[in-house]
Amino acid sequence: MEDQVGHRVAAGSSSRVVALAPDVAEMLSAIGVAGQLVAVSPATDFPDALRRLPIVSPHDVEAILAHHPDLVVASTAGNDPLVARRLAALGVRVCTVDATSCERLAAACELLGRVCGRSDAAAGLAATLRQRYASATSRASRLPRRGALAVVWWRPLIVAAPGTFHDDLLRRAGLDNLARAGAGRFPHVEEESLLDPRLAFVVSADEPDVRAGFATVLGRPVGHRLAAGEVRALWLPADPFSRPGPRLVDALDALVAAREEKP
pLDDT in the model for residue 181: 86
Contact status, residue 203 vs residue 254, Cβ threshold 8 Å: no
Whole-angstrom distance, CA of residue 190 vs CA of residue 144: 27
Amino acid making up residue 211: R
Reported residue count of the chain is 263
The residue among 109, 134, 159 that closes a domain is 134
Q: Which residues contact residue 127 at a Cβ distance below 8 angstroms, ignoring those fewer than 6 apart?
A: none
pLDDT in the model for residue 41: 97
pLDDT in the model for residue 262: 65
Whole-angstrom distance, CA of residue 46 vs CA of residue 124: 20
Classify residue 9: in a domain, yes or no: no
CATH of the domain at 73: 3.40.50.1980
Strands (E), the chain: 17-19, 37-40, 71-75, 94-97, 146-153, 158-159, 175-177, 199-206, 232-237
**Structural domain boundaries, residue 28:** 17-134
Give the DSSP letter string of 169-194. HHHHTTEEE-SPSSS-SS-B--GGGG
- Residue 154 and residue 54 share a domain: no
**N- to C-terminal Cα separation, the chain:** 48
The residue among 97, 115, 134 that closes a domain is 134
Classify residue 147: in a domain, yes or no: yes
The count of structural domains within the chain is 2
- Residue 179 and residue 83 share a domain: no
Question: For each of the chain's 263 residues, which pLDDT tens digit applies?
Answer: 999 999 999 877 789 999 999 999 999 999 999 999 999 999 999 999 999 999 999 999 999 999 999 999 999 988 999 999 999 999 999 999 999 999 999 999 999 999 999 999 999 999 999 999 999 999 999 999 999 999 999 999 999 999 999 999 999 999 999 999 888 899 999 999 999 999 999 999 999 999 999 999 999 999 999 999 999 999 999 999 999 999 999 999 999 999 998 65
CA 2: distance to chain centroid? 21
pTM of structure: 0.94
CB count in 10 Å sphere of residue 211: 14
pLDDT in the model for residue 263: 57
